[in-house]
Structure 1
Amino acid sequence: MTDLVASLRQARHIPQVALQQYMVLRSKALDDFVCVFEGQEDYPYYDTIFRKIRDDFSFKPLIVNGKDQVLGLRNLLLQRESPAEKKVAYFIDRDFDGYKNSQPSENIYCTDGYSIENNLCSVSILPPLLASEYLCHKYEEDDRIPLIVAVFRERLAEFSSLMRETNRIIYFARQNSIRLQGVENQITKYLDISLGSITSKEGSKLELLGWPEEVDPGIIPCEIPDFEQLHSIKDWRGKFVLGVFVELLHHLKNDRCSNAPSLFSRKSGMKFNPKGEIIRTLAILSPVPTCLRSFILKLGATASLDSTKVTA
């Protein structure tokens, strides 16, 4: 039974599965532009960004199972000559391994940071979020906004210090083709998070990351020059970054709703739920990367994309 389950899981990563999904979608949308995404969380983000930038473009989303499926589907469609296959764009996360064995091209967008989650966590979104969803504007608490922004900066700095080793391990694994057997993405497994401080939890980081038993962890360097050049909020694992951001927003809501708030001047109920469907809300407020804006503006500008032209 274990072998059967493993085989079924492995089958989900075969590009032909994505091709079958594409053929079903294309049969119902012969002339539509199709955008292929790695996962379900990508669609609300990109759909929101599309709507922010253009009102003259529509597309059908195709959700496949990860970067390998996106790139694998593209390689399969390159072998076809149908004009419909040129009305497809592909969206992947840069992660720690970029395009992997594929080449950049005009019909693939790769995030400028680790993933779309990183784009959602700029402190620049806090002032409008606090003013509207946390009701600072309603209660004339605009003076509280700089204080809260400062608290977030301090907590994110602590996150960066405490999660450096964890991200370095993932980086090393990805760069050396070491398959991690299930990375735990829940940030509260690694950290105790509050508005007052973030501290590390006891436990093995290697176990949480699914480090394979047959590989000696002693090979992981204490410092990797290329990794040290990365920006923690922009370039580290996005699910960790979004996780800590959401946890802080959640604790901030609890503070707003408490009888004796520490960061607000008064108690107030609020409808905003940081642990709900938050991606669209944050995407509306977050800045759009220049490269993504340029990519979206070019889609559909001509009858088809030149899917074989390699860019620098």
Structure 2
Amino acid sequence: MLIDELREESVSGVVAYAEFAESFNKNSTESMYCFFEGDDDYDYYRARIHSHAKQKIILDFNCGGKDYLLKAYSLIKDKPVYANATTAYFIDQDFDCYINNPDIYITPCYSIENFYSDVESFKSILKSRFKIPRDSNDMEICLQLYLNTIDKFHDKVLFLNSWLSCYADLRNQGVVNKRLFIEKKTKKLFDDIVHVNVEDVKDFTEFNNFLSLKALFDNNEDVKEEVFLKKVEQYKYVDKSKVFRGKFELRFLISFLKRLNELIGNKAKTICSKAYASTMPFNEPYLTLLSGFAITPPCLIDYLRRIDEPSN
């Protein structure tokens, strides 16, 4: 039984897999079993799954990481008893995902957070939360400011993303397996990203050269400088809003919205034709708060429709 195998695994995420085995009913055709890397993912996927699986009972499972999700997938696929189960698996591309499996949905960008900071998502937030007409000149003013400022932000975090991508390559090659604890070491550094004038961003001196990045990650010797510099050149020409780490992109979006609210909400300071009072509560969790504004890529719709076909 799957549940027995999972209980033998001394890893986190076992509970989620065991829950699937316990809740599975081979005689039921009404349930869709959805597996996610973490708790936050379901905030984004929930409404999108329900809109394309209206006849199903949706059961979600937090696997506690990509590797554990893939382990659950392999165990489930190996068992004939689950052959008729409607299962869906959702993972982020990150820097190191080279999976090509139609059973598994992989984001076309770094992670779901990149869906939130997309230009169309930003425009939807301005229309709904700031009441700025979509086709107005004020919308265009705010959009151009957003694009100009996020370009500056991307320049500031180019080295950081390049270094993390190099490390991800090494991990994917099996050269390293150490955790970097990225959130713990960088989260505070992303406070107050956007300046009060909304046109500039902080300097991020911790990210501005190879040596400072080594120090940030405990003088890590695994990433070589020549490889790092090649990655920097490569990343200068990618679509950074899609390729760069999603949590960083989301933090930029929130910081920008806060500063924009301070600016255009003030009649004396506004760069728009008038002041706009935001109805947006700037409190976490942002993935829940903004999930309705995030874009839904066509590949996700295609995946959900295919998974929910009766033949599956």
Deviation for aligned residue 1:23: 2.6
Q: What is the alpha-carbon distance in structure 2 between the residues aligned to residue 218 and residue 126 of structure 1?
A: 36
Q: Cα distance, 1:83 vs. partner?
A: 3.3
SS across alignment from 2:24: helix
In structure 2, list runs of 5 or more residues that go unmatched.
1-8, 207-211
TM-score of the superposition, structure 1-length normalised?
0.79
RMSD: 3.2
| Structure 2 residue 200 is the aligned partner of structure 1 residue 193 | no
Equivalent residue number for residue 5 of structure 2: none
Aligned position for 1:60: 59
Counterpart of 2:136 in structure 1 is 142
Cα distance in 1 between the residues matched to 2:191 and 2:222: 22
Using the alignment, how far apart are the partners of 1:236 and 1:187 within structure 2?
18
Structure 2: how far apart are the matches of 1:245 and 1:216? 29
Number of the residue aligned with 1:182: 181
Q: Given the superposition, is the C-alpha separation of residues 63 and 265 from structure 1 closer, same or farther in structure 2, using an over 3 Å criterion?
A: same
Q: Corresponding residue for 1:284?
A: 292
1:125 alignment partner in structure 2: 121
Contact 2:38 2:63 in 1 (8 A): yes
Instruction: Tell me whether 1:222 sits opposite 2:229 in the alignment.
Output: yes
1:31-70 matches, cutoff 5 A: 32-53=31-52, 55-70=54-69
Q: Which is helix-richer, 1 or 2? A: 2
* TM-score for the superposition, normalised by structure 2: 0.79
1:160 Cα deviation from its structure 2 partner: 1.4
In structure 1, stretches of 5+ residues that fail to align are 1-9, 305-312
Amino acid at match of 1:200: D
Task: Give the counterpart of 2:163 among 169, 186, 191.
Answer: 169
State the 1:206 CA deviation. Answer: 3.4
Deviation string, structure 1 residues 29-59 (Cα, Å, up to 9, x no partner): 9652110001111101111223455544441
Pairwise CA distance, 1:277: 3.8
Residue 202 of structure 1, aligned match among 201, 205, 218: 205
Q: Which amino acid in structure 2 is aligned with residue 122 of structure 1? A: D
**Which residue, 266, 273, 280 being the options, matches 1:272?**
280
Question: Partner residue of 2:242?
Answer: 234
Paired with 1:57 and 1:229, the residues of 2 have a C-alpha distance of 43
Query: SS at 1:95's partner residue?
Result: coil
Which of 254, 258, 264 is the aligned partner of 1:250?
258
> How far has the Cα of 1:290 moved from its partner?
1.9
8 Å CA contact 1:122, 1:286 repeated in 2: yes
Cα offsets for 1:137-185 (capped at 9, x unmatched): 4xx9933111110110011101111111101101100101233421135
